[in-house]
Amino acid sequence: MTAQATYSGIERAAILMMTLGESAAAAVLKQLDAKVVQRIGSSMAQITGVSREGVSSVLNKFSTDLELQTSIGVDSDQYLRNVLKEALGADKANAVIDRILGGRSSRGLEALKWMEAKQVADMLRNEHPQIISIVLSYLDSDQSAAILNAMPEIMRADIITRIATLEGVHPSALDELDQVLEKQFSGGGASKSSGFGGPKVAAGILNLVGAATEGKIVEEIGKTDTNLAQKIQDLMFVFDDLIDVDDRGMQELMREIQNDKLIIALKGADDALKERFFKNMSSRASETLREDLESKGPVKLSEVEAVHKEILVIARRMSDEGRIQLGGKGGDEYV
């Protein structure tokens, strides 16, 4: 395997940032989405001992990719649409395109993506649950899950119910919410496409709040709406469901997971799931992983669950990018 092939896309980006120098790297990172900056920053903090060959490989890959990019002068709007749909999938891309090509921004809501979960929860806890549900529908599932965990337990089921039954928000209402938030961060107003929320979003958030919290929330929802609770459960995807990912998808996923994280994740996993991972590795890598699992001491359940969340975030991102397919508990749905 070449040096280049050992690095994931985020790791290559992190190495590139570290070779640019502080000023140039800062200028690039300012142009990126908050979640991307966090992922690159985390990777930069973890990468150590990159060889000269490794750095050269990353730089050569970047140079090659750059040379293959389309030349300036094409239909920029159409090019933007194509690139975003390829990168984000049609649903997410349409929302982003509406904001960009419509000459609008969502600085108020976007600012929340840079804040700690507890800080956002403290800011929202006195708002109406419907407002909270709109905000959590807008944010990424992993951040929304952390915010939900930081909210009072008595509010959680109501919030998830509202997210699951949210079919859309009128642009003017969202615009008003964005302006209120923007005033808190010293800025202007904005609007966004109204098509978000629904059982799929609710399920995505619940996947990441932790098994105990998830079970309580679904049970509470079931007391008032059994059909909605079942619909959410059918769309949920947990770590054990990775057994249904096909071989190609499993191989793609493992390229994005650090080996030490995989060892922790597989502690306590059933033999069938372990074998799915072993099957999609080389004989040597599989044998090494088996030995590492056997020699690994006891691991706290909370640590295992935390790593499961990290891997689910990676898996969902790859699913959104069209690189793997995740089969929901309902069988025919893909999330």
Q: Does residue 130 contact residue 164 with C-beta atoms inside 8 Å?
A: no
Pick the CATH number of 239-320 from 1.10.220.30, 1.10.630.10, 3.30.380.10, 1.20.120.1200: 1.10.220.30
d(CA 285, CA 253): 15
Question: How do the domains of the chain map onto residue ranges?
Answer: 4-68, 72-103, 107-235, 239-320
Task: Report the run of H or E that residue 250 belongs to, with start and end.
Answer: helix 247-255
Distances (CA, A) of 110 to 19, 179, 193, 207: 29, 12, 14, 23
Dig out the tokens for 61 from the structure. 């890959």
d(CA 96, CA 175): 15
One digit per residue, pLDDT tens: the chain, 335 residues?
344 446 788 888 888 888 777 777 777 777 777 777 778 877 877 777 777 777 777 777 776 666 555 544 444 556 556 666 666 666 556 555 555 554 444 456 777 777 788 888 888 888 888 888 888 888 888 888 989 989 988 889 999 998 888 877 777 667 777 776 766 554 433 333 345 678 877 888 887 777 678 888 888 888 888 888 888 877 777 788 888 888 999 999 999 998 889 999 998 788 889 999 999 999 999 999 999 988 888 888 888 888 888 888 888 788 878 888 875 443 343 33
d(CA 5, CA 8): 8
Residue 108, exposed/middle/buried by CB under 10 A (0-12, 13-18, 19+)?
buried
Dig out the tokens for 330 from the structure. 């309902």
239-320 has the same fold as 107-235? yes
d(CA 72, CA 152): 51
Third-level CATH fold of 107-235: Annexin V; domain 1 (1.10.220)
Dig out the tokens for 313 from the structure. 């975030």
